[in-house]
């Protein structure tokens, strides 16, 4: 048996580009979750796209949203290819339907498998990592 401490792995920070880069830099700058919105018809959409699915406009903006929503779907992850996340296993990835309508994907915090159900009220927040990326976290609201 070795007396060496286990190697510490650094969590990979993705480098988004295009519209995802715009989305993340807004979140990093403000500390708030943002969603793309069509300037011409007001429709919100996620993930961001160059054209509105309702009116085909290419005028868009990114607006801050409350982060309030509910669990639309989730998956319990028992395996990761990124060694930095091994200590977090099992972790839960959730699809949250925001009060504003669009759905976002994030990671549930402080919840054991079995501690979450479809429809549970949650709050989504962002945690900047560097200048171009923010983790998207999901926290259960107290029941």
**Range 97-126, binding Zn ion (CB under 5 A):** none
55 forms part of the interface with Zn ion (CB under 5 A):
yes
For the chain, the residue count is 143
Task: Return d(Cα 65, Cα 72) in angstroms, integer.
Answer: 17
Task: Return d(Cα 36, Cα 74) in angstroms, integer.
Answer: 23
Paired tokens of 70: 């509910």
CA–CA distances in Å: residue 14 to residues 24, 109, 129: 11, 20, 9
Strand partners, 68: 123
Number of shown-chain residues binding Zn ion (CB under 5 A):
8
Between 57 and 73, CB nearer to Zn ion? 57
59 forms part of the interface with Zn ion (CB under 5 A):
no
Between 12 and 56, CB nearer to Zn ion? 56
Single residue of 27, 35, 38, 124 touching Zn ion by CB under 5 A = 38
Where on the chain is the footprint of Zn ion (CB under 5 A)? 38, 40-41, 43, 52, 54-55, 57
């Amino acid at each position: 048996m070795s007396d060496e401490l286990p190697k510490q792995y650094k969590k990979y920070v993705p480098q988004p580009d295009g519209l995802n880069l715009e989305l993340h830099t807004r979140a990093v700058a403000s500390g708030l979750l943002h969603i793309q919105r069509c300037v011409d018809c007001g429709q919100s959409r996620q993930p961001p796209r160059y054209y509105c699915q309702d009116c085909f406009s290419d005028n868009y903006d990114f607006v801050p949203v409350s982060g309030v929503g509910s669990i639309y779907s989730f998956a319990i992850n028992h395996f990761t290819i990124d060694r930095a996340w091994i200590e977090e296993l099992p972790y839960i990835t959730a699809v949250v339907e925001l009060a504003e309508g669009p759905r976002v994907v994030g990671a549930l915090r402080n919840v054991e498998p079995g501690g979450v159900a479809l429809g549970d009220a949650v709050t989504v927040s962002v945690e900047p990592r560097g200048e171009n990326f923010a983790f998207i976290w999901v926290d259960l609201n107290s029941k």
